[in-house]
Structure 1
Amino acid sequence: MPLPQPTLIQQLRWLLRGRGWQSAPKTQKSHFDKVDVESRVIETNRPITDLDVPDADIVMATWWETAEWVAKLSPRKGTKVYFFPHYEAFDNVPQGRVEATWRLPMHKIAVAQWLADIARNEYGDLSVSLVPPTVDTKQFYDPQSRLGQPRGKQSVPTVGMYYTRTPWKGCDIALKAFSLAAQKIPNLRLVAFGSGDSPPSYLPLPPGTEYNQEPTQEQLREFYSKCDA
């Protein structure tokens, strides 16, 4: 669906945090763009209803707001499943509604043990499935290993990281960790990639950082291969 426009309160919060006035979000790229799977984009940012969803065996929610929508769908749309990529306890979301979705009678799938623990210990859900993310080794691999050679270290010690301005991703912590490590390894090099524009002044990358904006999947493999950490 189209991304929602920032509210005035959100804009004021960003201004107070030094992030400046944010432009209207652009349509995001999708993991389905290059996959031979039918996908539909609704005309505006609104709840999903029965009219938007085909009859199916399973219907999955992937975010607290979609969990509210899925809970209201008819049984014809499939068995309801709630996929947890994160615990969305953020400042800009209604915490009470988030917590209510974790109590919905849907089978839960967690990508990490700490999420499964929250579901079980805080919400009493004992039927959570733990399904950690995996790597496609046909797409991501070390070229040296493919040649039967052991992976070696880089000529210059190199650290790689994902750069993002999203606060809860912890980019500021990663940059601080790099600066501490660089004090002991003077020639330590940083390479980073991100999906946004150039890094802003309030979250700068160290001088000499190689920054890759929106790399392709093939470029990502090369990016990972030249990192020691």
Structure 2
Amino acid sequence: MKVNFILPGVGLTGGNRVVFEYANRLTKRGHRINIIYPTIPSRMSEKWTAPKPRIRQVSKTLSRSFTSNEVDWFELNVPVQQIPTLSPNFIKYFEHGIPDADVTIATAWQTAYTVSALDDSKGEKVHFVQHYEIWDTWNSDEAWSQVSSIAEDPSSYPIKMYEVTPVDSKAKRQKELVDRAYELPLTKITISSWLKKLLELKFNQTVAGVVTNSVNHSVFYPEDTIESQVISLLIPSRNIPWKGEREVKKLIKEIRTSYDVEIHLYGNNLEEGDYIDGTIQHSNISDQELRHLYSKADIFVLPSWVEGCQLPPLEAMACKCAVVATNVGGVPDYAEDGETASIVPPRKSGALIEAVGELIEDDEKRAHLQQQGYESVKDYTWENATAQFEQAIQDCS
């Protein structure tokens, strides 16, 4: 098959990593894959109106004018090409730059509008839904307050958020655009059970396939590390409310007060002074450096309020690190509480702190989660996931 993936950009994101893993492996299976993205980046959130992100965006736009492939963070083995814009208002002027194909896949809500506007020569039109992409709503405490008033079970909040109307006009407009994108007549493939349920219940869509994210075991595996007498925690820092930044800071303060532990934080553009003194911060690290951190850590913590199907817990388990994660995204699909991970409700700092404290104190339980988590992810391979993804798009074409 000839398959096009339409991306809003090619920067370092979990969603892009997933697409690139599939692109490489579909190519090995004999398919002709192309990745297309715009020279002028799509705006993902209203936060891009802030000065620093806009300056970075302009810088990236200029750099894209002088390169045909800016994917320098992933070993991508498929053709990557740019078109000036993905705007559905102008795509007719530029779609000659998109190869004819059997299937063309939108990978974000903006690109769903683009794919929907393409000529039939681009093949079957598919929307690969990797999250409910209402970013500004997820960041709103007011929205979370509203959803908690209409649902008792925190695990149902992400789906129930469909029923919430943001107070902020920009967030409201973004949510309207995202919701409308999911209603477009594109075949849907997604990555977790909750997203399938969302698309079916709230958008009246038929989902052609659910393919859970996986682990690149050639990159993420247990390294031999020097054993330490001090328990080590590893926490991603995203500096975004819905990623659980507030809970991270409360956790760090409480854990450092109660225990003698080593706390490592990692993330892109991590700035000194963002956290309590005494934490060890790792900014803009490679996959190899991340593997070393996973392998060295005793406990990995992911406190997100919502996710599509998060990769870090899978990667941490593949490196024999005990995982504490909120019960959101893909966690209900690939983890079992008390057996392969310690799972807590989202937005509950007390529960998160208690779970981490228990693993610090209980050597036996921590070792159990490390081993059982490691065993459980052995079958989560990108090869297996690609076979499922391949079948899903073949069924569509």
Normalising by structure 1, we get a TM-score of 0.78
Please state whether the residue corresponding to 1:211 is helix, strand or coil. strand
Please state whether the residue corresponding to 1:134 is helix, strand or coil. coil
Change (3 A) 1:222 1:8: closer
Contact 1:111–1:132 (8 Å) recurs in 2: yes
CA–CA distance in structure 1, aligned partners of residues 53 and 76 of structure 2: 31
**What is the correspondence of 1:71-86 to structure 2 with a 5 Å cutoff?**
71-86=116-131
Contact 1:61–1:67 (8 Å) recurs in 2: yes
Could you tell me which residue of structure 1 aligns to residue 60 of structure 2?
27
Contact 1:116–1:128 (8 Å) recurs in 2: no
More deviation, 154-163/53-62: 154-163
CA–CA distance in structure 2, aligned partners of residues 86 and 7 of structure 1: 14
Does 1:59 find its partner at 2:104? yes
Could you tell me which residue of structure 2 aligns to residue 17 of structure 1?
none
Q: Deviations over 1:32-79 (max 9, x none)?
A: 853221101234574544223100111111111110110111121121
The one-letter code sitting in structure 2 at the alignment partner of 1:215 is I
The runs of 5 or more residues in structure 1 that have no matched partner are 15-19, 145-150
1:176 to 250, 253, 261: 250
Contact 2:107–2:130 (8 Å) recurs in 1: yes
Contact 2:188–2:206 (8 Å) recurs in 1: no
**What is the correspondence of 1:1-229 to structure 2 with a 5 Å cutoff?**
1=38, 2-3=40-41, 11=49, 22=53, 24-25=55-56, 26-27=59-60, 30=71, 34-43=75-84, 46-47=87-88, 48-49=91-92, 50-91=95-136, 92=171, 94-144=174-224, 154-185=228-259, 187-199=260-272, 204-229=274-299
Q: What is the aligned length?
A: 212
CA–CA distance in structure 2, aligned partners of residues 131 and 6 of structure 1: 24
Change (3 A) 1:84 1:8: closer
Kindly indicate which of the two structures has a greater share of residues assigned to helix: 2
Q: Deviations over 1:105-150 (max 9, x none)?
A: 2221222222111111111223242211100111100024xxxxxx
CA–CA distance in structure 1, aligned partners of residues 120 and 174 of structure 2: 27
Contact 1:154–1:227 (8 Å) recurs in 2: no
CA–CA distance in structure 1, aligned partners of residues 112 and 265 of structure 2: 33
CA–CA distance in structure 2, aligned partners of residues 218 and 210 of structure 1: 18
How far off is 1:21 after superposition?
5.9
The runs of 5 or more residues in structure 2 that have no matched partner are 1-37, 62-69, 137-170, 300-397
CA–CA distance in structure 2, aligned partners of residues 34 and 71 of structure 1: 30
Contact 1:32–1:39 (8 Å) recurs in 2: no
